[in-house]
Amino acid sequence: MSALRSASARSQSSQTKTVPARAPPPSNSSVEDHFFWTYTEEPHKSRRQAIIKAHPEVLKLCGPEPLTKYVVLGVVSLQVACATFLRNTPILSWRFLLTAYLIGATANQNLFLAIHEISHNLAFKSPLGNRLLAIFANFPIGLPYSAAFRPYHLTHHKSLGVASLDADLPTALEAVFLDSILGKAFFCTFQILFYAVRPMFIYTPTFTPIHLLNIIAQFTFDFALYKFCGSSMQPIYYLLLSSFLAGSLHPCAGHFIAEHYFFSNTTGGTESIEEQRAMKSGKKGTTTSSSSSPLDSLSPPETYSYYGPLNILTYNVGCTNEHHDFPAIPWPRYILSTKSQRSSMNRYHAIEAGCGLFGRLSSIRTWACGAE
């Protein structure tokens, strides 16, 4: 998972040259040693500075994307139509379950990531416009979520890997009890619940009027849909099941794992794309580029990206490195970002497939890397 860091650890590493950049947990150790500890600064800040120096034109890609609101409107309309269509369909019927998995889960994962995009103020120039659109995108999810998500996610960016702030990090309880194939399978099946509940054990953000509006608007929508469908609960069950499946064993849910998780020991599986290509061609230790760049002095970031077709359905969420390097660049411009940063993209970690992650449970590390 994400990397834990602290200023004291970075200071310690500068004073003690023998401390490795990454340290695996020793055997027969305490709960804290289930985590990987790093002694370097958060990588994306350094990468951002280096990329801007090498490619200053990348800053022109920042700013709101007008297309987002239309995509949100279309997906919300699709989910309302499906929920209405299933108002008289038994919950345990194949029609209900397949619609919820194939259409509902895909659509709600899209809306999860629309809210993620909007949380960075990338739909409108007005902050209020973004907050209201996020509340609207929240409707098919079934439960109020958008207002609570934003402060946790922005903190994830600002304090990537800090144990007391980053809600994407696993708890010590997870590190101990999920450290097995069955535990990881359980986590992958119910990861949406971990994602929803874990932040409450990290810290409590300030409750704002937007939170209240989100709650009122969401339950008003749920009640209106319930009444519109002849006082049938099936539409509500459909939306809730869609949300659960969107964060369960679904191809589009692979990004939850792909973003900041380790897939093997520190001695393998964390090479840059450039290094991986060299290793496959039998030229380990060599590189494919002879030109120098400000990025060459930086180690590969502790984040994985995915460049496959599922990005079409998920606001290019697979471009995780690009997003963490430049959170102000909206989803359609990640491709342009990649082109303008071509010399740096070769140093990004990458995974092969979203749905394939669930077949690699034995190599997924459920603990984080961090610093004391």
Give 341's DSSP letter. Answer: T
Q: To the nearest 5 percent, what fractions of the chain are helix, strand and coil?
A: 55, 5, 40
Per-residue pLDDT tens over the stretch 91-150 = 999 999 999 999 999 999 999 999 999 999 999 999 999 999 999 999 999 999 999 999
Contact 368, 35 (CB under 8 A): yes
C-alpha atoms less than 13 angstroms from C-alpha of 3 in its C-beta half-sphere:
24
pLDDT reported for residue 80: 98
Residue with tokens 């002095």: 297
Strands 349-351 and 304-306: parallel
Residue 269 vs residues 98, 201, 266, 350: alpha-carbon distances, Å = 35, 31, 7, 10
pLDDT at 128 (0 to 100): 98
pLDDT on residue 345: 46
Confidence check: pLDDT of 273 > 50: no
DSSP letter, residue 34: G
Task: Flag whether pLDDT at 62 surpasses 90.
Answer: yes
| Residue 371, helix vs strand vs coil | coil
pLDDT in tens, 347-361: 555 555 445 454 554
Is the pLDDT higher at 4 or at 227?
A: 227
Neighbour tally for 185: CB within 10 Å? 14
Q: Which residues pair with 210 in a beta bridge?
A: none
Average the pLDDT over each of 161-175, 193-207, 289-303 and give the range with the smallest value. Answer: 289-303
Q: Give the ranges where 159-282 is alpha helix by DSSP (H).
A: 172-177, 181-189, 191-197, 209-228, 234-246, 254-258, 273-280
pLDDT averaged over every residue in the chain? 78
The order of strands in the sheet holding 36-38 is 22-23, 36-38, 369-370
**Rounded to whole angstroms, how far apart are CA atoms 171 and 321?**
24
Nearest to 351 by CA among 267, 236, 271: 271
Task: Work out the angle at residue 317's Cα, subtended by the Cα atoms of residues 313 and 321, and round it to the nearest 5 degrees.
Answer: 155
Percentage of the chain lying above the pLDDT 70 cut: 67
Domain ranges of the chain: 1-264+356-372
Cα–Cα distance between 116 and 174 in angstroms, integer?
24
